[in-house]
Amino acid sequence: MRYRPSILKDNHNISHTQPLKEFATLLGGILTFLALSYIILGLLVDLAVAHISVAMETELFNHTPFSFLTIDPDSFDPRQQKLQQLTDELRACLEMERQITVHLKNSDTVNAVALPGGHIVFFTGLLDTLDSENSLSFILGHELGHFKNRDHLRGLGRGLVLMTIASTMTGPNSVLTKLLTPTLQLSQANYSQNSETKADETGLNSLNCYYGHVGGATIFFESLASQQSDNKFRHYFGSHPQIRKRINAIRQQAEKNHYTVKKLTPLLFSENSLKNLYPPEADHPP
């Protein structure tokens, strides 16, 4: 037997592939898989949301520690009582049986959010920009609309699905999971434009039912539209896009239902009304 030394010409022991091409293909495949799972599971969540009863929702979410709800009892704001009262009356108007609790949270954030478990968190930043009770009622009615249409569960559900997929595939502390977790941040609950429009409709109906007219419905949005560049309002724009479109949609809806506009009711706890509620003597003892 002859021994013939030779040099390796074609290395058969390795695959001659382009690593970057392989990386792109694999990543594309995984992203497609994630996207498909997200869509399919998202649809399943939509189905599930329709079947989650109020009792079940309360059971599920009442133990969830929403940071918004840990309100310091010392900093109790007397305006909360008024908000709750208004919400209850609007709720009766909308024939909503479930109990909704309003929490007034001291924060510069110009926003109000509907949370699972029947909670509305109203930020003082938003309350301070309102100058009529009608505008306030419209926003409360809008949030009640989210409960009525069950958007508060839907928005949470999709975020949950995405995070669950990521944490199952890559582990709870992976980069991917951490990247996706912010979608669960409730203050930025992102509802689709369609759900916003529907919630606006509910808000408008509740306004008309309670006051007999829909004056004040768009005042808040108009002031927003004129202050779009203001950083303070960015929060509200994050989840409530295309303000102009919304104002027009609300107006069209009002016209369609032949709703009228009458004189606005002043906000009861504006400076003057607060004086009536809490006489100056109480604040400044003689």
Q: Which residues pair with 102 in a beta bridge?
A: 120
Q: Does 8 bind another protein (CB under 8 A)?
A: yes
Residues 6+ apart with CB under 8 A from 183: 158, 159, 162, 163, 190
Residue 102: phi and psi, rounded to 5, are: -100, 135
Stretch that binds another protein, among 23-31, 73-81, 180-188, 276-284 (CB under 8 A): 23-31
Q: Which is nearer to another protein, 163 or 224 (CB)?
A: 163
Stretch that binds another protein, among 28-36, 45-53, 188-196, 224-232 (CB under 8 A): 28-36
Q: Does 55 bind another protein (CB under 8 A)?
A: no
Q: Does 14 bind another protein (CB under 8 A)?
A: yes
Q: Which is nearer to another protein, 33 or 76 (CB)?
A: 33
Whether the Cβ atoms of residue 165 and residue 227 lie closer than 8 Å to each other = no
CB atoms within 10 A of CB 108: 11
Q: CB under 8 Å, gap of 24 or more: what pairs does 239-242 form?
A: 239/111, 239/188, 239/189, 239/190, 239/191, 240/196, 241/193, 242/193
Q: Which of 92, 179, 194, 272 binds another protein (CB under 8 A)?
A: 179
Give least dist CB 167 to another protein, A.
Answer: 15
Give least dist CB 108 to another protein, A.
Answer: 25
Which has the closest alpha carbon to 253: 145, 168, 109, 158? Answer: 145
Q: Which positions lie near another protein, rule CB under 8 A?
A: 1, 3, 5-8, 11, 13-15, 17, 19-20, 22-23, 26-27, 29-30, 33, 169, 175, 178-179
